[in-house]
């Protein structure tokens, strides 16, 4: 099967995406023919109404989504929707208005960077929201809130927007130092954004040849055999967890890494047991051989004896009497019988010897994995540690892949012109205060107050105070986890929130960017792997990416190595990377790099790592707890108004660590920003999609 054929097949797979109204629902991550639980909650009159009104709702919703997906460069107005719906569907303009308001409020239409056609209605007193962090979630939420007519200020500690989306640019060279891959376009909100701004998407060819330490490439059969074994091991750990419920040991949660090593030990034990079985079989056959031989010796003696007796009987001179004749015949018969028995024994002897020879020539494997197999297996483990940004011993056995069902369809893509084009576009027209780190967040029944500190190059630090009605915290989980805390909350965050922060995992992954004056690798391969020599260093420079038009390679450092190498100088790390490349391509082929860049995400005080993972002891539920807003506690002795109405939330949370189904991704961060903007607007502006109450008009959402 050629590479072209395979790529062709990949393309065919992707063309299998629904079209029309169904395609629009699919692209918006919604079921085409039924209401979601959120829709049922927001439209109880529809979800509990006759099937006809549900059908009408779904048609309106899907048609509006289709109109938006087909032209996301300008605002989708209600007027445009009404002019574009099928009149034969007998549409209710009031329902259409509510559906449009619902889709706009929750960022299913009118999100990202698009031309505003209708300004939001001016509010008597516009609520003021402060957003902490100008990463993708903060920028997305800010744009949404601003489009709803809410006053927004973003404070960002770094000197540029984007957070963990950051692109290295020097002369002709480009390389993404943080987020780098779009994981499929089918259902991905970034697909819409790629149609709004100039994101040059490029499909990643999945072929990834592996090279061993001495530079020889791993033979295809060997590569496939070890990969099959890797997948079998993962399936076995899943069986242990989900079928046998082996998730705790000595009342501690079991990690994926622990379970994998356990299964490997079980396999090694099985190999030893098979060797013992084999030895037992050989022993048994040798016993049979021995028994057979001793029986043959006995029969040989009988033949000798009978032959002598027969010869003696023949010595009786003729004429012999009847007794003598009988004796001769009887001895001859005995002699024949013994000879026949001996021949049978001799045949049996051959058969036993053949069986013995066959067993001795086909011993079971004396090891489960040779040291070379284990090195290649460790490469696959390193790849899994890269995907999760953490050593496998930190991952929850039961929940590490809890978001798998929500993966998008289609090939993985990279942004050829650098991922930072996305935050740059999102930041336009927003009030963003750069070099401004939040130190204190105070919240009470009336609002919030933030104290910030300047982080610029200047030696004098200045503090500032920002006041608002609510704050949206989009700080990376690593910053929320930091000790001592870099941001103080007054009153302190509730225990349910801090416990979730503590349980969840925040990982690390680093990159080494190497810019050359020429290409010395296969330009048609996007990825190639380097198999480490030990389990301990399996993640060190284990994978090289070739993605850009200029001659740039990005080497990845994952697993235990990601943290270890943060304490090593650039010079040594770059030297190691060049040594690896020389081992693969030959010393003379590899020039010295023109430019280099080494990341240290864990040491970066504004991120403290790369992205979240499901740690042993955590689960998908913790992502939901992270997403839940925090309300100020009711003060005892204070008139709190209506006791059945607790204080409304003031502190909201967004970011990749707050979205259960899409964690650790740019699209997850983006969706979390849309979600929180909707939640904040609902609280401060009311619900625009509610059935009109008497004398109260819904907040128009243009």
Question: Which is it for strands 432-433 and 151-155: parallel, antiparallel or unpaired?
Answer: parallel
Helices 371-388/220-242 angle, 10° precision = 60
Q: Is 675 annotated as a binding residue?
A: no
Question: 149 among the known binding-site residues?
Answer: yes
218 known member of a binding site:
no
349 assigned to a ligand binding site: no
Distance from chain centroid for Cα 611? 11
- Is 46 a known ligand-binding residue? no
653 known member of a binding site: no
136 is in an annotated binding site: yes
**148 labelled binding-site residue:** yes
* 514 marked as binding residue: no
174 is in an annotated binding site: no
CA separation for the pair 42, 154 (Å, rounded): 30
155 labelled ligand-binding:
yes
Structure tokens that stand for 208 in this block? 């990834």
CA–CA dist 673, 426 (Å, integer): 12
Q: Is 143 annotated as a binding residue?
A: yes
Sign of the torsion angle spanned by Cα atoms 489, 493, 499, 503: negative
> What are the structure tokens assigned to 27, written together?
């692209």
Of the candidates 493, 516, 501, the residue with the CA atom closest to the CA atom of residue 581: 516
Check whether 137 is labelled as a binding-site residue: yes
The verdict on whether residue 294 carries a ligand-binding annotation is: no
Task: Please check whether residue 271 is in contact with residue 368, taking contact to mean a CB–CB distance below 8 angstroms.
Answer: yes
Torsion over CA of 22, 28, 33 and 39, rounded to 10 degrees? -160
656 labeled binding residue = yes
483, 487, 490, 492: CA torsion to nearest 10? -30
Query: In sequence order, what E strands does 445-498 have?
Result: 447-454, 463-468, 470-473, 488-490
DSSP 269-334: HHHHHHHHHHHHHHHHHHHHHHHHHHHHHHHHHHHHHHHHHHHHHHTSPSSPPHHHHHHHHHHHHH
C-alpha to C-alpha distance for 155 and 142, rounded to whole angstroms: 11
- Is 101 annotated in some ligand binding site? no
User: Is 138 assigned a ligand-binding role in the annotation?
Assistant: yes
Flag whether 74 is marked binding.
Answer: no
694 is in an annotated binding site: no
DSSP 392: G
Q: CA–CA separation, 137 vs 677, rounded Å? A: 10
Tell whether residue 141 is among the known ligand binding residues.
yes
Separation of alpha carbons 613 and 145, rounded Å: 29
The answer to whether 144 is a known ligand-binding residue is: yes
Has 156 been labeled as part of a binding site?
yes
* Residue 40 annotated in ligand binding: no
According to the annotation, is 147 in a ligand binding site?
yes
Reported in sequence order, the residue ranges of 360-446 that DSSP labels E, i.e. its strands, are 412-415, 432-433, 436-444
Distance CA 574, CA 514 (A): 8
Residue 261 burial (C-beta neighbours within 10 Å; 0-12, 13-18, 19+): middle
Distance (Å, whole) CA 512 – CA 558: 11
Give dist(CA 18, CA 80) in Å, integer: 24
Structure tokens at 407: 């993966």
The reply to whether 154 sits in an annotated binding site is: yes
Distance CA 284, CA 290 (A): 10
CA distance 350 to 296: 13
Is 447 annotated to bind a ligand? Reply is no
Picking from 570, 554, 553, the residue whose alpha carbon sits closest to that of residue 516 is: 553
Annotated binding site: 129-158, 164, 180-181, 656, 665-666
Annotated binding site for FAD: 129-158, 164, 180-181, 656, 665-666
């Amino acid at each position: 099967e050629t590479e072209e054929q395979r790529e062709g097949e990949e393309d065919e797979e992707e063309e299998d995406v629904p079209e029309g109204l169904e395609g629009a629902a699919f692209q918006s991550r919604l079921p085409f023919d039924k209401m979601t639980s959120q829709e049922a909650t927001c439209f109880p009159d529809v979800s509990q109404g006759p099937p006809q009104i549900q059908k009408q709702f779904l048609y309106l919703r899907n048609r509006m989504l289709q109109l938006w997906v087909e032209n996301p460069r300008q605002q989708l107005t209600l007027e445009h929707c009404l002019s574009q719906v099928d009149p034969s569907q007998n549409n209710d303009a009031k329902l259409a208005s509510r559906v449009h308001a619902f889709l706009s409020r929750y960022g299913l239409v009118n999100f990202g960077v698009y031309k505003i056609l209708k300004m939001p209605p001016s509010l008597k007193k516009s609520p003021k929201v402060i957003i902490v962090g100008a990463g993708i979630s903060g920028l997305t939420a800010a744009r949404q809130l601003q489009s709803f007519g809410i006053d927004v200020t973003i404070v960002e500690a770094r000197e540029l927007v984007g957070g963990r989306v950051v692109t290295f640019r020097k002369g002709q060279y480009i390389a993404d130092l943080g987020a780098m891959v779009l994981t499929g376009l089918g259902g991905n909100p970034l697909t819409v954004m790629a149609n709004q701004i100039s994101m040059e998407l490029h499909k990643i060819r999945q072929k990834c040849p592996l090279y061993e330490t001495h530079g020889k490439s791993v033979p295809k059969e060997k590569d496939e055999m070890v990969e099959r074994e890797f997948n079998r091991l993962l399936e076995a750990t899943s069986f242990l967890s989900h079928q046998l419920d082996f998730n705790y040991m000595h009342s501690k949660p079991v990690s994926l890494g622990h379970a994998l090593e356990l299964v490997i030990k079980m396999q090694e034990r099985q190999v030893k047991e098979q060797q013992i079985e084999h030895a037992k079989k050989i022993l048994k056959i040798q016993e049979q051989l021995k028994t057979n031989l001793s029986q043959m010796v006995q029969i040989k003696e009988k033949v000798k004896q009978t032959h002598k007796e027969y010869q003696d009987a023949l010595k009786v001179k003729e004429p012999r009497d009847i007794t003598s004749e009988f004796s001769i015949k009887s001895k001859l018969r005995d002699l024949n019988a013994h000879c026949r028995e001996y021949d049978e024994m001799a045949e049996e002897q051959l058969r036993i010897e053949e069986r013995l020879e066959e067993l001795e020539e086909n011993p079971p494997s004396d090891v489960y994995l040779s040291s070379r197999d284990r090195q290649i297996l460790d490469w696959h483990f390193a790849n899994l540690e890269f995907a999760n940004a953490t050593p496998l011993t930190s991952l929850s056995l039961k929940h590490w892949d809890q978001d798998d069902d929500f993966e998008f369809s289609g090939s993985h893509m990279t942004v050829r012109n650098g991922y930072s084009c996305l935050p740059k576009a999102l930041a336009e027209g927003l009030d963003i205060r750069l070099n401004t780190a939040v130190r204190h967040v105070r919240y009470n029944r009336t609002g919030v107050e933030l104290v910030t500190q300047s982080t610029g190059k200047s030696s004098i630090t200045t503090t500032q105070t920002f006041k608002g009605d609510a704050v949206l915290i989009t700080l990376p989980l690593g910053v929320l986890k930091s000790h001592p805390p870099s941001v103080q909350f007054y009153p302190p965050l509730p225990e349910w929130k801090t416990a979730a922060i503590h349980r969840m995992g925040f990982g690390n992954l680093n990159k080494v960017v190497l810019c050359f004056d020429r290409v010395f690798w296969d330009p048609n391969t996007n990825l190639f792997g380097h198999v480490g020599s030990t389990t301990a260093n399996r993640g060190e420079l284990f994978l090289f990416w070739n993605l850009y038009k200029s001659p740039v390679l990005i080497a990845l450092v994952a697993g235990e190595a990601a943290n270890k190498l943060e304490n090593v100088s650039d010079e040594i790390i770059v030297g190691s990377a060049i040594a690896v490349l020389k081992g693969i391509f030959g010393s003379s082929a590899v020039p010295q790099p023109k430019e280099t860049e080494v990341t240290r995400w864990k040491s970066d005080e504004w991120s403290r790592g790369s992205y979240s993972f499901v740690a042993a002891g955590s689960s998908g539920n913790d992502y939901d707890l992270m997403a839940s807003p925090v309300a100020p506690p009711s003060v005892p002795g204070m008139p709190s108004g209506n006791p059945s109405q607790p204080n409304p939330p003031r502190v909201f949370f967004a970011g990749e660590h707050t979205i259960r189904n899409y964690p650790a991704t740019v699209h997850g961060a983006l969706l979390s920003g849309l979600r929180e903007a909707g939640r904040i607007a609902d609280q401060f502006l009311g619900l625009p999609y509610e059935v009109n109450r008497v004398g109260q008009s819904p907040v128009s959402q243009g």
